[in-house]
Structure 1
Amino acid sequence: MNKIEHEKLYNIRHTMAHVMAYAVKQIFGEVKFGIGPVIEDGFYYDFELPRSLVPEDLGIIEEKMRDIINNGYQVLNESISFDEARQMFNDQPYKLELINELAQNPENSGVSIYRIGEFVDLCKGPHVASLKELNLKTFKLMRVSGAYWKGDAENPMLQRIYGTAWERPEELKAYIDKIEEASKRDHRTLGTQLDLFSSSQDIGQGLVLWHPKGAMIRYLLEKFSQTAHILNGYDWVYTPHIGRAELWKTSGHLQFYKESMYNAIEIDNEEYYLKPMSCPFHIMIYNSSLRSYKDLPIRYAEYATVYRYELSGTLQGLTRVRGFTQDDAHIICTPEQVHSEVVKALKFSLYILKSFGLNNFKAYVATKPKKKSIGDDKDWNAAIESLKNAVVAAGLEYEIDEGGGAFYGPKIDLKLRDALGREWQCSTIQFDFNLPERFNMKYIGADGAKHTPMMVHRALFGSLERFFAMLIEHYNGDFPLWYAPVQIGIVPISSNHYEYCKELSKKLKTIGLRVNLDLSDDKMRAKVRRMELEKIPIVLIIGDQEVEKEGLSVRSRKEGNLGFMTLNDFLEKIKPELDMGVPKYIMD
């Protein structure tokens, strides 16, 4: 989509948000309005209403929106003073709050409003010039959810209506089709169907139970990545799940991050906290002995289960949980080494992700936050340039995420587009201007003096839970052979073939393949169908011919019926797919 088309679609969606608010006002009368921005694929608006919305309300609101659009109103903009705005919105507390915030900025002389018929909203625009530019067949209201005003749990809970709008009816249809396909691929649904994982109120919200099949996939992901780390210059470490309060005070987490941490645990009259991150522990390992510039870079990595407080309303499957595992790493190096280490970390990230069949990436370089941050602008600017250069060297598209960095440094976020074109946050490579100073990290330089090292945080999967959710939805639960939880199903046609199948199963398991041999009394077709539903990549059918010729008949989910093969031919065929799961050294 070119810039003009993008701007036109933005204006359509922005105007639709106002039309929806107008419709809600006409239907419910007493409405307190929040905000109604454009988002990816659509728009939303937040309301305080006299009653809770139900799904049936969406159709009623849509019809009212069509009535409003049919009137063909002009969309009129004007600027008014702050006093005029306060008078105009005197019964709208959320709008008054926004007006007063705008008035605090001396650069603002007033506010912008937009009129559609009798409806007036506080808004800087832009919008279409007339409702005649809107198409009655190109929008749809999608769902209702709760949303705290300004995203703060201390504020009132409002009702949020999400909608989507497009220029042409065929675009709306394509989007609805994609949403329906995404619903079929939902990792929560497939997680139950394929018996991969579950959660339970009995153990607590946002905590995951990994079932044997899901745990097998997780084990394979961890094994591949851990071996690849060690092959490529990382030292593996293990650290505790809790730490003394003093540790988190020194790191700054209790100052900058406490709202995401759980309450303290008292042990021997001292306060301890569940770890939200592993950085301080890795620093303690570094600080356990005096380091020379000749020892650097040092790269520590671990699978670290961390605990962060997430609001109950935001928890969702594996993508938003309260206890999750990061493939966490910290690179400690000299200033002269830091750029090459960022380049290597990015190269390694891409290698790991591509090993799982993921190839559609986009990078975001996140810059200094406007509010909480440490470090001077010179250091931030130099680090940002280093990150941009690393992204360019990797041949990636990138965007600048203004103000999106952590308080302690800028970062690269790698986002993946899945089979449906949806974006998932995965790898992060993050500078840190905070912890080396706070923990008095030092190394002896070539000049014999003590110097403060640079530190780069790095996670490749992001979290194993979210990465697993993405893989489930990307592949629709139909995993590549090398990390499918069950790789091969064996189906005997009759009991006469049981002994041959048992011996075949034993041979395959001996060479490390994961096999499901079905010796139930069900008919052959029922067994095959069950394995298809379990999405087992390869099913071997064994009958008289296979026993007599000492071979097997092969059915592949990807390639269909491959016919008769000897065992050696079969193993030779699947070897390239299995070899994808063998980590390699790539740091030349």
Structure 2
Amino acid sequence: MENIETKRHSCSHILAAAVQELFPGTKLGIGPAIENGFYYDFLSDHKFTPEDLKTIEDKMKQIIKSKQPFVRKEVSKAEAEALFKSKGEDFKVELISELPDGEISVYTNGSFTDLCRGPHVENTGAVNNFKLTHTAGAYWRGDEKRPQMQRIYGIAFETKDELKAYIKQQEEAAKRDHRKLGAELQLFNINDDVGPGLVLWLPKGGMLRKVLEDWIKDENLKRGYGIVTTPHIARLHLWQKSGHANFYNDSMFKPIEVDEQKYQLKPMNCPFHIAVYNTALRSYRDLPLRLFELGTVYRYERSGVMHGLLRVRGFTQDDGHIFCAPEQIEKEVQDCFNFAMHIMKTFGFEKFKVELSTWDEKHPENYTGKSEDWHRAQAALEDVLKHNNIPYTAHAGEAAFYGPKIDIKLIDAIGRPWQLSTIQFDFNLPERFDITYVAPEGRKRPLMVHRAMLGSVERFIGILIEHYAGVFPLWLAPVQVKVLTLTDAQAPYAKEVCEKLTAAGLRPELDDRGEKLGAKIRQAHLEKVPYTVIIGAKEAAENTVTVRLRSGKNIEGVKLDEFIAKLKEESQSRSLSNLFN
């Protein structure tokens, strides 16, 4: 029985066959299997529409019903080039020209032939439970200077139930889309005048961000981190010394020249934290030294991959670096893992996945650092997971050349995984910058651990918006209480209520417009404010409020002091549920 990846890849060939039959003259790009499905890139004079997807899908079903065998054939490089030149498939010819001399495989089903390594299912009839979803633009080979193609995406699963569940999840995801909710809730804006991938935080989004950043700063301080602030640019020399200018060049913006010196927007905070470490001669008594920064970095992302807050060009990492002695790493890794679990609990993420990436011990030449450091670091990471009875997936040989790591992926409210916390050793930068500490037996090299708990502030807020569907718990909500007046006569008392809420450390907003009460309530509901307070003549006379919950339930005659005390408790405890009922 073929695995699902093989079926998905076979689906992409069936898609291409259907498109070329329906739209003659269409040229082929590539068509791989991807997570949950497949896609194929096409160059066509025809602009594919949603209606076309239904037509293409029907043609694919005909091909599937005919059970066309997938036939593999080995040909020489010259034969492959001649075959695809005769078909006018310029992109395939380009790919073939880059292959080494020797046998090249092509697959044929029906009258359709494609360049492919395979494998495929036995015949098209083995493919089912699929759906075409959408189209997108895609430059050939990801190069903006090359032709822009049309990419058709599809999904495919083993069973019809899995397909239905995924479609339902995607429908729910569309309702929760943080770009849509971000605009509706007036949290952030991205526009072409400022530049793609650069976020403008609006006042309400700025408040949400402040609350989150204050919390993460306090949590780092509790754990012994020193807060540092570093520049947004540095001399290009720093990035050459760190290796980023070579290894990371494609993701960096071009340098700028100042006073005949080249400067670089920072893509990482790490070299700056090493510079902080090097501001003093360190003793073993100073270790572990923990540094933390909400550091804004800039990375060049291609226009086709940016996505709201989740993929941007300027973002703020909650970056931490730990410099420690070898005998201290077990405790430091455990503390980092505990921190990640605390974040999960605080924000209400009940499920998560853990992945451990280690080196290929048979090829130490592909890695930097000493063998004993790799073994000790990997053992520390693995021991923490085992000690805490955490199931994990091990990826041998997939560690970066500079160190092993743990990745923690949260599972959101509708079952989607998101990369969150990373605990990563780095044996490269301490060597490059020759950092040391003085031990009783002489100078030694500290071990360095990168750790990002939230990943980036922008991305984490995007995840939170979708996880909560914009319905933030009280402690995170930009506006916690909306105060509504019935008539102008209640304006003085309403202002007094807002002043007392503000004095208690809460975030109220007054709506004393001359609108009907129903319209004000609907507006507060659309803004997803946790609590709405309604003030009429009776409330003003009795020093009470009528409390309206997001559920629509009204609670009348609540003493103002009682209401404030309950909200303070809910906010300060960072409760995820409504304490007032």
> TM-score, normalised to structure 2's length?
0.90
Conserved? CA contact 2:504–2:568, under 8 Å? no
Aligned match of 1:552 in 531, 545, 550? 545
- Partner residue of 1:29? 24
Matched, 1:14 2:5: no
User: Separation in 2 of the partners of 1:127 and 1:562?
Assistant: 63
- Partner residue of 1:463? 456
AA aligned to 2:470 is: G
Q: Report the alpha carbon displacement of residue 144 of structure 1 after superposing the two structures with TM.
A: 1.6
AA aligned to 2:535 is: I
User: Separation in 2 of the partners of 1:263 and 1:127?
Assistant: 43
Aligned match of 1:521 in 497, 514, 518? 514
CA change 1:512–1:294 in 2 (3 A) is: same
Deviations 1:522-572 (A, max 9, x none): 111111111001110011122344334432222221583344422343344
User: Separation in 1 of the partners of 2:386 and 2:112?
Assistant: 48
- Higher mean alpha-carbon deviation, 35-44 vs 290-299, is at 35-44
Conserved? CA contact 2:289–2:323, under 8 Å? yes
- Partner residue of 2:163? 172
AA aligned to 1:389 is: D
Aligned match of 1:359 in 350, 370, 388? 350
Aligned match of 1:44 in 36, 39, 44? 39
Conserved? CA contact 1:48–1:159, under 8 Å? yes
Conserved? CA contact 2:204–2:478, under 8 Å? yes
- Partner residue of 1:418? 412
- Partner residue of 1:532? 525
Conserved? CA contact 1:326–1:464, under 8 Å? yes
User: Separation in 1 of the partners of 2:125 and 2:269?
Assistant: 56
- Partner residue of 2:250? 259
Q: Report the alpha carbon displacement of residue 415 of structure 1 after superposing the two structures with TM.
A: 1.6
User: Separation in 2 of the partners of 1:64 and 1:377?
Assistant: 56
- Partner residue of 1:383? 377
Q: Report the alpha carbon displacement of residue 510 of structure 1 after superposing the two structures with TM.
A: 0.6
- Partner residue of 1:585? none
Conserved? CA contact 1:224–1:581, under 8 Å? no
User: Separation in 1 of the partners of 2:287 and 2:494?
Assistant: 55
- Partner residue of 1:446? 440
Aligned match of 1:508 in 501, 511, 519? 501
Aligned match of 1:472 in 460, 465, 468? 465
Aligned match of 2:181 in 190, 199, 207? 190
Deviations 1:372-420 (A, max 9, x none): 8534666445433432333333443322346654442222222222222
Look up the SS of the partner of 1:483 in the other structure.
coil
AA aligned to 1:465 is: E
- Higher mean alpha-carbon deviation, 331-340 vs 38-47, is at 38-47
Matched, 1:497 2:490: yes
Conserved? CA contact 2:504–2:564, under 8 Å? no
- Partner residue of 1:586? none
Q: Report the alpha carbon displacement of residue 77 of structure 1 after superposing the two structures with TM.
A: 4.3
Q: How much identity, in percent, do the aligned residues show?
A: 48
CA change 1:382–1:21 in 2 (3 A) is: farther
- Partner residue of 1:345? 336
CA change 1:580–1:357 in 2 (3 A) is: farther
User: Separation in 2 of the partners of 1:373 and 1:188?
Assistant: 40
Gaps of 5+ in 1: 583-588
Deviations 1:307-348 (A, max 9, x none): 111112222211111111111111000111123212211211
Look up the SS of the partner of 2:406 in the other structure.
strand
AA aligned to 1:414 is: I
CA change 1:384–1:562 in 2 (3 A) is: farther
User: Separation in 1 of the partners of 2:544 and 2:93?
Assistant: 78
Q: Report the alpha carbon displacement of residue 94 of structure 1 after superposing the two structures with TM.
A: 4.5
Look up the SS of the partner of 1:66 in the other structure.
helix
User: Separation in 2 of the partners of 1:188 and 1:97?
Assistant: 38
Q: Report the alpha carbon displacement of residue 97 of structure 1 after superposing the two structures with TM.
A: 5.5
Q: Report the alpha carbon displacement of residue 155 of structure 1 after superposing the two structures with TM.
A: 5.5
Deviations 1:36-84 (A, max 9, x none): 2222221112233355534443223222212222322233445556565
Matched, 1:311 2:315: no
CA change 1:389–1:527 in 2 (3 A) is: same
Look up the SS of the partner of 1:441 in the other structure.
coil
Q: Report the alpha carbon displacement of residue 515 of structure 1 after superposing the two structures with TM.
A: 0.4
Look up the SS of the partner of 2:383 in the other structure.
helix
User: Separation in 1 of the partners of 2:6 and 2:566?
Assistant: 54
- Partner residue of 2:122? 129
Gaps of 5+ in 2: 576-581
CA change 1:465–1:171 in 2 (3 A) is: same
Conserved? CA contact 2:501–2:564, under 8 Å? no
AA aligned to 2:332 is: E
AA aligned to 2:354 is: A
Matched, 1:248 2:239: yes
CA change 1:94–1:374 in 2 (3 A) is: farther
AA aligned to 1:209 is: L
Look up the SS of the partner of 1:233 in the other structure.
coil
Q: Report the alpha carbon displacement of residue 224 of structure 1 after superposing the two structures with TM.
A: 0.5
Q: Report the alpha carbon displacement of residue 359 of structure 1 after superposing the two structures with TM.
A: 2.8
CA change 1:541–1:360 in 2 (3 A) is: same
Matched, 1:67 2:62: yes
User: Separation in 2 of the partners of 1:288 and 1:394?
Assistant: 37
Look up the SS of the partner of 1:331 in the other structure.
strand
AA aligned to 1:398 is: Y
User: Separation in 2 of the partners of 1:468 and 1:356?
Assistant: 11
Conserved? CA contact 1:541–1:552, under 8 Å? yes
- Partner residue of 1:231? 222
CA change 1:403–1:123 in 2 (3 A) is: farther
- Higher mean alpha-carbon deviation, 368-377 vs 527-536, is at 368-377
User: Separation in 2 of the partners of 1:481 and 1:110?
Assistant: 64
- Partner residue of 1:277? 268
User: Separation in 2 of the partners of 1:350 and 1:134?
Assistant: 41
User: Separation in 2 of the partners of 1:554 and 1:25?
Assistant: 62
Look up the SS of the partner of 2:514 in the other structure.
coil
AA aligned to 1:233 is: G
- Partner residue of 2:578? none
Conserved? CA contact 2:474–2:574, under 8 Å? no
CA change 1:155–1:346 in 2 (3 A) is: farther
- Partner residue of 1:331? 322
Q: Report the alpha carbon displacement of residue 153 of structure 1 after superposing the two structures with TM.
A: 5.0
Q: Report the alpha carbon displacement of residue 265 of structure 1 after superposing the two structures with TM.
A: 1.8
Equivalent pairs, count: 570
Look up the SS of the partner of 2:475 in the other structure.
helix
Matched, 1:577 2:564: no
> TM-score, normalised to structure 1's length?
0.89
Q: Report the alpha carbon displacement of residue 455 of structure 1 after superposing the two structures with TM.
A: 0.4
Look up the SS of the partner of 2:415 in the other structure.
coil
Q: Report the alpha carbon displacement of residue 32 of structure 1 after superposing the two structures with TM.
A: 3.8
CA change 1:527–1:506 in 2 (3 A) is: same
What aligned pairs does 1:58-207 form with structure 2 within 5 A after superposition?
58-77=53-72, 85-86=80-81, 88-91=83-86, 92-95=89-92, 103=100, 110-135=103-128, 138-152=129-143, 156-207=147-198
